[in-house]
Amino acid sequence: MPAYDFPQDLLDAQAALEAVHAERDAFARSLPVSTEPLLGWKADKKLHGDYRPEKPDSPGYTPEQAERLAGYRARILELTTQIITHPYWATLSGPDRVEARTALKHAHDTPAGPDA
């Protein structure tokens, strides 16, 4: 894949987008199973095993949790819009633009080891 000379503001926006996604994902893992209160359930035992699927009661999201999640969504939309409408993309065409977008998504990847 060819190297691209991305403008710093585009690189910064991509890094911020990745950070917000990671923060949102970590927060989402701490949330209840459902957005609204929901009764738990237990299914019948499976035919060829002792596994019995179940979910506990879910209290639903608090207004603060819902607001925080909406804030993450708004920030992700803002950064995504900033990235996809950046004037840099007008300097490329066709497959180059697609390759450049892929390269931007991986611009902040760290090598896996000393030989990478």
pLDDT in tens, 85-116: 999 999 998 899 999 999 999 998 876 556 55
pLDDT at 13 over 70: yes
- Model confidence at 46, pLDDT cuts 50, 70, 90, reads confident
- Joined together, the tokens standing for residue 115 give 């030989």
CA distance 19 to 25: 10
Nearest to 79 by CA among 34, 29, 24, 39: 24
pLDDT of residue 50: 83
- Helix residue ranges per DSSP H, the chain: 8-29, 63-84, 94-105
Determine the length of the chain: 116
Q: What is the pLDDT of residues 50-94, one digit of tens each?
A: 888 888 999 999 999 999 999 999 999 999 999 999 999 999 988
pLDDT of residue 58: 94
- Mean pLDDT of all residues in 19-26: 98
pLDDT of residue 18: 97
Work out the end-to-end distance of the chain between its first and last CA atoms, rounded to an integer number of angstroms: 15
pLDDT of residue 51: 85
* HSE of 74, CA atoms in CB hemisphere, 13 A: 6
This prediction has a pTM of 0.81
Residue whose structure tokens are 């950046």 = 86
